Chain A
Amino acid sequence: MLTQYAFYFLSILAIFSALMVVFSRNPVHSVLYLVVTFFSIAGHYFLMNSQFLAMVHIIVYAGAIMVLFLYVIMMLNLNTDTEPNKSNWVKGAAVVTGGLMMLILVVSTKSADQLPIQKALNPNIGLISNLGKVLYNEYMLPFEVSSILFLVSMVGAVMLGKKETY
């Protein structure tokens, strides 16, 4: 019963703050609302018994990515609401498109709960000791390739951010 209440509380918080990300005028407020959304999604991960993912989610998203966004917004001095509006036609079309997208997603996954529910044999599957074994046995190659991806993205970010001297 408690998990149900926690689920609905976190869901309402996530949806509300996601809407505020889109509709708030100041970009800094958008970033802060997005942090709230990420914390509520981390709470969902805790409810679904995947503790490692919840911790990584908080560290990576709220700790690294959102700080990067805030840093860029403050460095570009964008924390004022000088953004001109789109026309009402485009706004209405955006809202209608979002609603249709939601309708399609909900209807196309309608038969998902007809499958038999198969819980994991090991209830502690979300802990770091179990996930680490899977990561280093079955997914060794993708793990190493992701390190190359990070290297490439780091080089790319430095190259793009450099002042052009030629």
Chain B
Amino acid sequence: MQEIVQGVPLQHYIWLSAILFSIGVMGVLYRRNAIIIFMCVELMLNAVNLMLVAFSRYHSGTTGSSAQVFVFFIMAVAAAEVAVGLAILMMVYRNTKSTDIDFLNRLKF
């Protein structure tokens, strides 16, 4: 049922979110700078948010606002995560003078 709401089919929103999420995954694997990896994680969170809002726009039930509240909570958790993560990164930089993740492989052993 390829009905069109407001001109754009839902499948295009799914493609856009999938592409953004995959770019985030690719960036996490591609770069070595921990800050860029962090930014790619933010990109993945945003792709998921976009998908949630798109589904709530097209398949909302009687109320239709739960997904937007969920996105609001995801934004709150992302803000808290960024604060703690950047504090950890500052600590790592203070101890090793680098944000290269290949120097941080001491946790492996």
Contact = CB atoms under 8 A, between A and B. Distances in A.
A131 B58 CA distance: 18
Interface string B65-109: 110110111011111111110111111010000011000000000
A49 to B, nearest CB: 7
**A interface, by DSSP: helix, strand, loop or mixed?**
helix
B1 A157 contact: no
Contacts, number: 244
**B interface, by DSSP: helix, strand, loop or mixed?**
helix
Nearest to A106: B18
Contacts of B58: 117-119
Contacts of A119: 5, 57-58, 60, 64
Q: How many of chain B's residues touch chain A, expressed as a range?
A: 35 or more
Interface in A97-147: 97-99, 101-102, 105-106, 109, 112-122, 125-126, 130-131, 134-135, 138-139, 142, 146
Interface of B: 1-3, 5-27, 29-33, 35-36, 38-40, 42-43, 46, 49-50, 53-66, 68-69, 71-73, 75-84, 86-91, 93, 99-100
Closest 7 pairs between A and B when the two form their complex, measured CB to CB: A98-B26, A120-B64, A94-B29, A102-B22, A153-B80, A105-B18, A22-B27
